[in-house]
Amino acid sequence: EIVLTQSPATLSLSPGERATLSCRASQSVSSYLAWYQQKPGQAPRLLIYDASNRATGIPARFSGSGSGTDFTLTISSLEPEDFAVYYCQQRSNWWGFTFGPGTKVDIK
C-alpha cells in the first residue's frame, strides 16, 4: 500500500500570504496525485488533479506541482475562504486509493 505523508500538519498564516503544502508518497505515483479542500461540515472539493491540473472553477491562485514521490500545493495569496483542511490523494495501482492525513491552514 502506498502511504501519503503531508506536512506540515498545521500551517498558520495571514490572509495575503503564500501557502506551501507538501505531500510525499512512500513510492512513486507518477503524476496521479490530486488535492482537495475541505471546510468544516462540507464535503471535500477537488482542486488539482494529475498533480498540476486545476479542476473546473478553481481560482488561479491554487497551483500544484511535482511528480514521482514529492508534490506541492501552493496558494499564492491566501483569501479568507481558503482557510480549510487540504488533503492529497493517489491511485497508482489497483491496491486502491489512499489519502494523506491532511494539512490544516488556519488564520495566524
Which residues contribute to the site for another protein (CB under 8 A)?
Answer: 32, 34, 36, 42-46, 49-50, 55, 87, 89, 91, 94, 96-102
Q: Are 19 and 104 in contact (CB under 8 A)?
A: no
Identify which of residues 4 and 75 has a Cβ nearer to another protein in the complex: 4
Q: Determine if the peptide bond prior to 44 is cis (ω within 30°).
A: no
> CB 108 → another protein: shortest distance, Å?
23
Identify which of residues 83 and 87 has a Cβ nearer to another protein in the complex: 87
Cell triple for 87:
488533503
> CB 14 → another protein: shortest distance, Å?
26
The residues facing 12 across adjacent strands are 106
> CB 11 → another protein: shortest distance, Å?
16
End-to-end CA distance of the chain: 36
